Structure 1
Amino acid sequence: MAGTDTSIKIEFLPSPAVILCEPQLGENIGTAARAMANFGLWDLRLVRPRDGWPNERAIAAASRADHVIERVRVFETLEEAVSDLNLVLATTARSRDLQKEVIGPDEAAIRMSATIAAGQGVGLLFGREKWGLLNEEVALANTIVTLPVEPAFASLNIAQAVLILAYEWRRHAGLSQKLPFDSGLLDAAPKSELVGLFEHLEGVLDQSGFFTTPEKKPGMVDNLRTALSRGNFSSQEIRTLRGVISSIDRRHLRPNPNRQKPAVKKDVGEE
């Protein structure tokens, strides 16, 4: 294939993972893998691919991006797929009810470059061909990335979106020391710890009767997760928060016997 030089050794340098959530067509997986290979990305993760894995159509569409295809990992849940990552960027063109920061591809590349230079993991999250990402999936991300597309025709093929973000990553990779970035965001804990915080808090709220209206619970959970994600908590901060939640939970189940009870005023004549 023109442009492919097998005499040049491929270097598996630290780069963003690409996560495809429930991809439907093998061809889209393959062309996304090819786009990744063009710009030096090699970590492709699939969450519940519709037609399973491996997929012959994906392999054919990858056009010899074998080093990407051979390293594909399949996950049952998105939480598992992002568990080792510190920064996750969700790509979507759809407006959301979630109060989450929205940035462009160039700013996304700056943040990815700085985070990876700090030795942390980064993921780019892409949704389904037909309807993209669900709100609960976007809630797991730190930030939304939106491309400057034509509003009347905003839908991109998955491989096209991967190609654009991979290009921006390649353009900015290694320049993190020269570009402005809030270094305080580089202490963020892995997503596995953040998901643990989510589940801990939601379990306690369930037991305490916080979710009084079942049909409203999913939206409330999404809003809670979005708010907590904005904190970019470190591992120590998450441990502290979970300690607070555990303490509140214990007090709720077993009131503190050492707490001084308020004095009861007796009526005249009582002993």
Structure 2
Amino acid sequence: MSASNHSSAGASSPSAPSAPPPPAVPKSRIPFCPACGSPTKLAVPDGDEKMRAVCSSCGRVHYENPKMVVGCLVEHDNKVLLCRRKIEPAYGLWTLPAGYLEVGESAAEGASRETLEEACADVEIVSPFAQLDIPLIGQSYIIFRARMKTPSFSPGSESLECELFALDDIPFDSLAFSSIIVTLRMYIEDVKAGNIKFHYCTINKRIGAGPSDLRSFDIDNHLAVRETSAQQSHWSSIELVMGEGAFGHRMASGHICGRLFKLLLEL
């Protein structure tokens, strides 16, 4: 008996798998040279380790540096002042008065200016409260505690409305940015503990989170500087706490000279 032939005449052979698409060519966020206006190209300059925007004409190297955002956590009668945004991004959501630091002003001056612009509130800086780094978007926030010189505020040109909120009434479901969520959570925890600290942390987006997912993040490198109970009135001794509170576990602590806190106040 002859072997049966299972192949059909004229059948085409399976097509070869298509080649993967070529990798995307990175583009510079500084497409033109600020000095001469010529196009830039990404290259690793001599003595450097990273791709930089290098002018194709004059050869100048341009560096993309993080932007500094400054703002105020304004306290009044056990409430905090929030502004509802009139501009994108996050139109209609609530935030602390804050914005980009301008050339020629200190961080404290910039925070006061932003508060005046967004809430028409003339404030006095009390102390630095938090520095929050967000590496993914190249921003660093410095938030100051502040008080109004006179109890007067109203919406500025970038705000739909301004309102003082009791801590239990803060609209966390309608806050604009992850940095504001973190700042207010830390502040509420400090107030309830009866000890306001200075905080530093890094805000990192979780893998797979979209840019509009404000609550999908992790808090890393959380440090908190606080008074010891024996020296609250003179700030002569402070305690460093790593990763304590709503965003982590206490890892280490130690006493630091009170001069450090004075330096923080002079930021």
Structure with the larger strand share? 2
Question: Is this a same-fold pair by TM over 0.5?
Answer: no
Structure showing greater relative contact order (alpha-carbon pairs closer than 8 Å, 6 or more residues apart): 1
Q: TM-score, normalization: structure 2?
A: 0.23
Greater Rg, structure 1 or structure 2?
Answer: 2
Q: TM-score, normalization: structure 1?
A: 0.23
